[in-house]
Chain A
Amino acid sequence: MITLSQRREVGEFRKRYRWMALFVMLVFGTLIARVAQVQLFQRNRWSGIAQQNITKTLELPATRGVIRDVADRVVASNRPSYDVHATPRLLLIPEDLERIANLMGLSEEETAELTARLAALPESRRTHQLELYSDISREQLAALETHLAELPALDIVTVPLRDYPYATLGAHLIGYLNEVNETDLRNVRDPGTYRAGDRIGRSGLERRYEELLRGARGFRRVVVDARGRALEGTRPQSLEVEMLKKPVPGHELQLTIDMQLMEALDRAFRQHPSGAAVVVDIHTGAVRALYSKPVYDPNEMSSGLSTKRYQELTSDPFRPLIDKTIYETYFPGSTFKVITALAALEDSVVDPMQRVECLGSIKIGRQKFRCNRRHDWVDLYDAIVQSCNVYFWELAEKVGLERINRYAEAFGFAERTGIGVNSEAKGFLATREWYKEHYGAFRPGYTLNTAIGQGNTRVTVLQLAMAYAAIANGGTLYVPQVVQNVKAPDGSLSETFQPRVRREIQVLPEHLELLRRALTGVVNEEPGTAYRARSPEGPRIAGKTGTAQVVSRKSRSGESSSAWYLDRSHGWFAGYAPADDPQVAFAILVEHGGSGSTSAAPIAAIVMQEYLSQPDGEEAQ
């Protein structure tokens, strides 16, 4: 043995040990450098993931602020919706899916849809919660809750869902919510405000006051293991994140709107398929009713419309999607005569006592203009009460288009009222230049049409109501307001909206007084156009009837049955009540209602009687 080992040279090996040692140190040097990189330089990144790994964040949605009417009646509130959320990474496929499908009673089609949805999810989203179903039924809830312990990937989240007790009533104004889209997410300042699947105020007040109403979401974090099982009461020392953030409820809105008045309007409109009405407080501009018919149901809009339902709504000839109080414009018809009369009075082009003979028609140039009947000798007062066109045509020639337009503008026409909710139409007043440009030349007949509210003048129902409010209150044009105040979640007032004056219209009080006497006569004197519509028991009201011709439109194919109706004139009635001590002004439009005196005026009479006979203190209910 000794001789054997001595024979073997170890010298051959000797040169290699240093190189080997160097290699060993280089390799371990690299490893230590790598560990240093991961532990010292990338520490925050990996710590973040480690904390994310062991926490599951349960969202605590904020309660959206309740909206109430002027008498604290709830017009928008919340009810619980039970939503099924899942963390896709923890879902066992297909076992868990089958289980869920079973418990929820999903059809094969729905199950396939769910499977496809989960499969399409990018890897980066698999650790985040995803809403599988919202607003599940009580039965589904009961079934899922019984087996929730066996499905650690699932969570049932109670989310407040918006509820509109008055359904369609005031829906355009109140608005609705639907799911946020990518544009919303881009536009919001704090990107954490919304998550996919959240609902955002999409129209009306819900949209206008979104930031106040929505509140701020909160969350609760629980410690979970790799399989997503919650470990209650465990709190690793290295966990540096907040475990609970309570949601902050949204602010509450109190409207100036009176839902009882809205209901009264709705009842009064029963016989008419479409129309609009606005009632405003003449002393503040507070809007008491903003009524448009027909309307969609906001509850339905919130939960997402099917394509078919959406098409039904868009193809409805009475256009339920359009807010007829502020978004649509109409010829004002004879309700506009007050403006023509004021223009004439203010610029002293007429002696109100001077009589004009109405023979039932008038010939100007080659054109013959017809009055609604022969009124014989009428002065300004009679002409308003009986709505004599001939008188106003003769007046128009003296006043001229420019003066009429100037006073119309003063009363807020062709200008947005500034109500601040939804899109508002401006309306339109045609000028001499406009006529030249569009009709080639200006003819005197255009002025005559304008004087009686036909021509090319277009107004919104709200503009007309605001103008009549100004007539009733002595010339103050207010900005219409629909929100009275905002309350913080604890009930304290956080903002009260004061009346805002748009302008004081420079008119002589006695001219307004004359107009008001005439408007009272319209309803309360024997030949008055609205005399038949008056309610003898109720308070006296004042107003002006109007009939707006409808530009004959071609009926869409297949709608011939309603086509005749759609060519009928719109009926107007604008005024204020009570006649002797005005409180509210109104404008009522019955689309295709024919004459204003038979369609719109009775609505005003009924509704005002009901509204003004409410016991005092109603608002402080």
Chain B
Amino acid sequence: MAIGRTIRDEFDWPLFIAVSTIALFGVLNLYSATDGGTTSDAYVQQLYWLILGFGAAGVTVAIDYRYFERYGWVVYGACILALVLVLVLGKSVRGSTRWIALGGFSLQPSELMKIGLIIALAKYLHHDTKTGGRTLGDLIIPGLILALPTALVLLQPDLGTAMVLAFIFVSVMMLTELKARSVVTLVATFVVAAPVTWFYLLKDYQKERITAFWSRLGGTQADLLDSGWHAHQSLVAIGSGGLAGKGFTQGTQTRFRFLPDQHTDFPFPVWAEEHGFIGAVLLISLYVFLILWALRIASQAKDRFGAVVAVGVGAMIFWQTVVNLGMVSGLLPVVGMTLPLFSYGGSSLLSTMLGLGLLMNVSMRRFSH
């Protein structure tokens, strides 16, 4: 298979265009969120990260994904090692340890772990001999593959990423068939586990956010400070955007700093405030297209590894997008969750681009082998 012919005929242009458009919107939005770059040069940084991300994705595309299958455990192990290193060497920001300094910049290994988990699960299922009717026993090994990184991420603690890991796992495992009896057992286990999690595992600030969320759903505007305040100001930004928005760089919620973490967790309200319902639907549609396209790639994949990777990457983007949008629009409690490709943040962008590189890889090699 000559690479020249592959690029021309099998390069997945729709995927590339959708990804580039979202990323470009993200940079523009960041430019606006920083008052046209006057308050910080984050949008330039983001451009650098984007170039780096496209580069990394290009490298990922160039290597046949079967090599990732072959070295799957190595990738997974490296990510786990990085997570351990964070706990040992990492720097603490706002009560949680998520970053390690790597030369001039900081890296968030938990972001890379998402890709590591997808590859590990793909490798495991690729080699699984079963083709249906799985029991709980069959879930033990994949469960352990999930449990190890999730535990390490929770130690940081980073509830959001732990959730994404779990969601990726569940989504991927949905591809396989589970016996009805096992499903019942799982549901029962969850019912028992939920209160235990609430009372023993969640930190106070995490509980507080969830309580604030429920009290808001209940209609009491009692707690407008802190987490409730964030969600409230986010709704103000989105809602005041109206149909057509206030115009590029004209969002008052943004410019006058009523949005918390507007570069990272709350870029969507900035976008929705300035571009209105039209802009919001356009952006959401791009994500819908991207995720459905990933499912299409999965369905055309020649092998299980490719299919699981495609679904895993799709699930990663899907869940992060849904949780982030749900949170900023007041449907879900405020948890730290970035909007893939759109939020400011190097590690997040890099891991997303790596995943998308893998997706492109699977897409381009669907007719080969």
Contact = CB atoms under 8 A, between A and B. Distances in A.
A50 interface: yes
Nearest to A52: B236
A35 B175 contact: no
Interface residues of B, number: 63
A46 B273 CA distance: 11
A120 interface: no
A50 B236 CA distance: 6
Contacts of A43: 239-240, 242-243
A24 B131 contact: no
B115 to A, nearest CB: 20
A10 B256 contact: no
A28 B277 contact: no
A496 interface: no
Interface stretch (B184-192, B197-205, B244-252, B351-359): B244-252
A40 B242 contact: yes
Interface string B200-242: 0000000000000000000001111100000001011111111
Contacts of B233: 53
B139 to A, nearest CB: 15
Interface in B269-314: 272, 276-277, 280-281, 284, 287-288, 291-292, 295-296, 298-299, 301-305, 307, 311
Contacts of A54: 252, 256, 258
A30 B331 CA distance: 10
Chain B's interface: helix, strand, loop or mixed, by majority?
helix
Interface in A7-49: 8-14, 16-17, 20-21, 24-25, 27-28, 30-32, 34-36, 38-40, 42-43, 45-47, 49
B238 A46 contact: yes
A306 interface: no
B135 interface: no
Given A43-B239, A53-B236, A31 B256 contact: no
Contacts of B307: 10, 13
B252 A226 contact: no
A122 to B, nearest CB: 9
A488 interface: no
A39 B238 contact: yes
B329 interface: yes
Interface stretch (A106-114, A192-200, A234-242): A234-242
Given A1-B66, A10-B302, A35-B284, A239 B239 contact: no
A12 B176 contact: yes
Contacts of B176: 12-13
B325 interface: yes
Interface in B297-341: 298-299, 301-305, 307, 311, 318, 322, 325-326, 329-331
Contacts of A14: 299
Contacts of A223: 256
B277 A36 contact: yes
B257 interface: yes
Interface in A245-267: none
A35 B295 contact: no
A35 B277 contact: yes
A224 interface: yes
A30 B332 CA distance: 12
B126 interface: yes
B303 A225 contact: no
Contact of B252 (A5, A10, A39, A236): A236
A353 interface: no
A226 B277 contact: no
A39 B225 CA distance: 23
A17 B242 contact: no
A238 B273 CA distance: 11
B348 interface: no
Nearest to B287: A28
Given A10-B307, A40-B242, A54-B256, A20 B288 contact: no
Contacts of A17: 295-296, 298-299
A436 interface: no
A432 interface: no
Contacts of B238: 35, 38-39, 46
Nearest to B308: A13
Interface of B: 66, 126-127, 131-132, 171, 174-177, 221-225, 233, 235-243, 246-247, 250, 252-253, 255-258, 272, 276-277, 280-281, 284, 287-288, 291-292, 295-296, 298-299, 301-305, 307, 311, 318, 322, 325-326, 329-331, 369
What 8 A-B pairs are tightest by C-beta distance, nearest first? A46-B239, A50-B240, A226-B257, A5-B303, A225-B256, A47-B240, A39-B277, A238-B246
Given A45-B239, A50-B236, A226-B257, 18 more contacts: A8-B126, A13-B175, A13-B304, A20-B295, A20-B311, A21-B295, A25-B288, A31-B329, A38-B238, A43-B240, A49-B236, A49-B240, A53-B253, A54-B256, A123-B223, A123-B225, A226-B256, A237-B246
28 contacts: A8-B303, A9-B131, A10-B301, A12-B131, A13-B176, A13-B298, A16-B175, A17-B296, A17-B298, A24-B291, A24-B318, A31-B329, A34-B329, A34-B330, A35-B238, A39-B242, A39-B272, A39-B276, A40-B242, A40-B243, A40-B277, A46-B239, A46-B240, A225-B255, A225-B256, A237-B246, A238-B240, A239-B252
Interface of A: 1-2, 5, 8-14, 16-17, 20-21, 24-25, 27-28, 30-32, 34-36, 38-40, 42-43, 45-47, 49-51, 53-54, 123-124, 223-227, 231, 236-239
